């Protein structure tokens, strides 16, 4: 088991689908709309796309170069590529972020399971907006029920992660992602023919630049890193399983394009409905859960649509959390020689403890705040807006300044097979542009200037 040969992904579709499976999840469908709503709409979207292009894609490539260049877990990768240096400490940052993110993520994934259940027993019926809101609050603030779902979700992760890379992840990513995408397209059509669609679409696409301040920019950068699963080594770990023929640039741009498309589709579904049903766009984490059931109500065959949607959203969360587990599991099995079972148990237990606190943040612990944030709020803010960009900055400095240029050229050209000048441009961006931009956004967002 411990000395097992590293597997690689079986098919080309497998590579993209698995990375997309990691990228596409609650970040696109739950977090993106609510962050957009809290940060004023179109202006946020514009900066978000800027962050994807300028920071996201280059840092994805940097992670790919490290991962495939070393065929190793995060810590092993840095040890192999730069022996005797302290760069491998980045892996601790990654594991911390993975546990923090997975803790609050599992709570929301638990909500999607509750909603799947509610959809199955057909309880949405003819609810009014107020009733959806009341039901939501009653559910999320109750002490036990959401925790039950969180634990169930973590348990499912445990089972899957124990079955290994190939079987566990690859197979069903290939089917689910396209299905989720199709479903979103159908909902889009319904949403943009609602009476409030005009207002919703202009909220999403017609920027009001006066809304931009440094917290909007920090939020957009955090969301970009979160949505691409960037900055904590997920993509280092995943790309360590890439074959030598995988085209890195094409994979990175495909993943980023697809990920952004899904987020924008989610926005196109949510905001017209928000304006049609008189929901406030700045609701926060509940936005998707109180908005979407309305959209389904307006469709013939509402039952089927809502069941299908919540099942797929749950599965999309699962492919994302599995990628978070894989960071710790690869680290503990390869660096600490633990069994896969023990490693996943360790990761998941930590998430369970923190997950309980996150879940209670919507109920009995909602008053337990520090600087206005609950435990849930802190896990989210700290990981998305601080740790991920920080990790991304270190990774870009590493590839831009430290890593042997030969490795970069080798990985970018697939060992000389592809002809590309992009390696030079990439190094320039990673050296100068990405780290500077991340620092400036940090300092701005934390109120330094």
Quote the least distance from Cβ 353 to ligand TRP, whole Å: 20
Q: What angle do CA 62, 223, 209 make, to 5 degrees?
A: 115
| C-beta closer to ligand TRP: residue 35 or 124 | 35
Should residue 73 be labelled a site residue for ligand TRP when binding is judged by CB under 6 A?
no
Binding mask 374-403 toward ligand TRP (x if CB under 6 A, else -) reads --------------x---------------
Closer of 59 and 197 to ligand TRP (Cβ): 59
SS3 370: strand
Q: Which stretch binds ligand TRP (CB under 6 A): 53-61, 164-172, 250-258, 317-325?
A: 317-325
Residue from 22, 70, 106, 140 binding ligand TRP (CB under 6 A): 22
Query: What is the Cα–Cα distance from 419 to 97, expressed in whole angstroms?
Result: 36
* 226 makes contact with ligand TRP (CB under 6 A): yes
Under the binding rule (CB under 6 A), the answer on residue 320 touching ligand TRP is yes
CB 365 within 8 A of CB 411: no
Q: What does the DSSP 8-state code read for residue 443?
A: H
Is 323 an interacting residue with respect to ligand TRP (CB under 6 A)?
yes
Judged by CB under 6 A, the residue of 101, 147, 204, 390 near ligand TRP is: 101
Question: What are the CA-CA distances from residue 309 to residues 31, 107, 109, 116, 228 (Å)?
Answer: 16, 18, 13, 8, 22
- Binding status of residue 27 toward ligand TRP by CB under 6 A: yes
CB-CB contact of 35 with 266 (8 Å): no
Work out which of 227, 237, 260, 385 binds ligand TRP, going by CB under 6 A.
Answer: 227
Q: Work out the number of other CB atoms within 10 angstroms of the CB of residue 415.
A: 10
Stretches 8-16, 75-83, 227-235, 245-253: which one binds ligand TRP (CB under 6 A)? 227-235
The dihedral sign for the CA sequence 35, 37, 38, 41: positive
Q: How far, in whole angstroms, is CA 82 from its chain's centroid?
A: 29
Specify the residue, 395 or 412, whose C-beta has the smaller distance to ligand TRP. Answer: 395
Comparing CB distances to ligand TRP, the nearer of 22 and 75 is 22
Closest CA to 176 of 306, 13, 295: 13
Is residue 269 near ligand TRP by the rule CB under 6 A? Answer: no
Closest to ligand TRP by CB, 228 or 352: 228
Least Å from the CB of residue 84 to ligand TRP: 28
Alpha-carbon distance of 162 to 344, in angstroms, equals: 7
Q: Take residue 250 and report the two structure tokens written for it.
A: 């094409």
CA distance 368 to 319: 32
Residue 221 makes contact with ligand TRP by CB under 6 A: no
Q: How far apart are CA 446 and CA 215, in angstroms?
A: 8
Helix (H, G, I), strand (E, B) or coil at 104: helix
Q: Which is nearer to ligand TRP, 230 or 423 (CB)?
A: 230
Interface with ligand TRP (CB under 6 A), residue from 25, 37, 272, 355: 25
Indicate the residue among 229 and 246 with the shorter CB distance to ligand TRP. 229
| 103, 140, 229, 333: residue in contact with ligand TRP (rule CB under 6 A) | 229
Closest CB to ligand TRP among 235 and 408?
A: 235
Write the DSSP symbol of residue 192: T
Is the separation of the CB atoms in 179 and 385 below 8 Å? no
Judged by CB under 6 A, does residue 60 bind ligand TRP?
no
As a whole number of angstroms, the distance between CA 362 and CA 383 comes to 19
SS3 state at 373: strand
Q: Could you list the residues that contact ligand TRP (CB under 6 A)?
A: 22-23, 25-28, 101, 226-227, 229, 232, 234, 320, 323-324, 388
């Amino acid at each position: 088991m411990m000395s097992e040969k590293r597997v690689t992904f079986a098919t080309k579709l497998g590579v993209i689908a698995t990375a997309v499976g990691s990228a596409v999840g609650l970040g696109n469908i739950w977090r993106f709309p609510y962050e957009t709503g809290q940060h004023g709409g179109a202006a946020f979207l514009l900066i978000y796309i800027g962050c994807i292009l300028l920071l996201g894609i280059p840092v994805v490539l940097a992670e790919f170069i490290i991962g495939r260049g070393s065929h190793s877990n995060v810590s092993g990768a840095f040890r192999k590529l730069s022996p005797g240096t302290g760069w491998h400490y980045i892996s601790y940052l990654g594991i911390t972020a993975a546990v923090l993110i997975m803790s609050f993520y599992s709570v929301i994934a638990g909500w999607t399971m509750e909603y799947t259940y509610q959809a199955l027993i057909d309880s949405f019926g003819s609810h009014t907006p107020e009733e959806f809101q009341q039901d939501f609050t009653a559910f999320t603030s109750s002490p036990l029920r959401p925790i039950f779902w969180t634990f169930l979700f973590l348990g499912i992760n445990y089972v899957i992660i124990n079955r290994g890379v190939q079987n566990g992840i690859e197979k069903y990513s290939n089917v689910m992602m396209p299905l989720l995408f199709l479903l979103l397209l159908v909902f889009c059509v319904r949403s943009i023919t609602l009476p409030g669609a005009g207002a919703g679409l202009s909220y999403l696409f017609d920027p009001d630049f006066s809304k931009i301040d440094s917290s909007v920019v920090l939020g957009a950068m955090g969301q970009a890193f979160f949505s691409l699963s960037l900055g904590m080594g997920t993509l280092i770990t995943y790309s360590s399983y890439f074959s030598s023929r995988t085209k890195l640039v094409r994979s990175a741009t495909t993943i980023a394009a697809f990920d952004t498309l899904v987020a924008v589709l989610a926005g196109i579904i949510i905001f017209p409905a928000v304006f049609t049903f008189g929901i406030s766009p700045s609701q926060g984490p509940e936005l998707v859960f109180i908005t979407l059931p309305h959209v389904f109500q307006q469709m013939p065959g509402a039952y089927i649509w809502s069941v299908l949607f919540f099942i797929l959203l749950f599965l999309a969360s699962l492919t994302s959390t599995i990628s978070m587990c894989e960071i710790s599991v690869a680290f503990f099995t390869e660096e600490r020689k633990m069994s896969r079972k023990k490693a996943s148990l360790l990761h998941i237990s930590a998430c369970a403890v923190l997950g309980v606190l996150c879940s209670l943040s919507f109920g009995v612990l909602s008053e337990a705040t520090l600087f206005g944030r609950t435990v849930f709020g802190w896990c989210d803010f700290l990981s998305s807006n601080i740790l991920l960009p920080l990790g991304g900055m270190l990774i870009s400095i590493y590839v831009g300044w430290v890593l042997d240029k030969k490795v970069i050229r080798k990985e970018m050209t697939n060992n000389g097979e592809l002809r590309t000048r992009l390696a030079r441009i990439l190094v320039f961006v990673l050296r100068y542009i990405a780290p500077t931009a991340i620092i400036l956004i940090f300092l701005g967002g934390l109120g330094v200037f």
